Amino acid sequence: MARICSIRGTRVRSGGKIHRSGLAKKKGGIGRHVTKVVKRTVSPNLQTKRIWVPELNRFVRVKLSCRALKTVNKNGAYATLKAAGLV
């Protein structure tokens, strides 16, 4: 299954990590120099949850990010899942 949030659509992003060498000027060196840039992925914090929806009188199993879980707590399960097209 893909690493995508069912509610917000948050997915894996790519970025770069900068490798540096040398001693900082503050510590008596000649400064930090970039030696290479490495590609890396940034994954969302996904959780698989069973959410109780009182309007449907059943549980709904969704894979969502922690930010989406806060949205469910704030706006209610039924309204959030309906806006995402899951109910």
Task: Give phi and psi for 9, each to the nearest 5.
Answer: 80, 15
Does the pLDDT value for residue 83 go beyond 80?
Answer: yes
Degrees to nearest 5, angle at CA 42 with 73 and 79? 20
What is residue 2's predicted lDDT score, i.e. its pLDDT? 87
pTM: 0.74
Q: Tens digit of pLDDT for each residue in 15-70?
A: 999 999 999 999 999 999 999 999 999 999 999 999 999 999 999 999 999 999 99
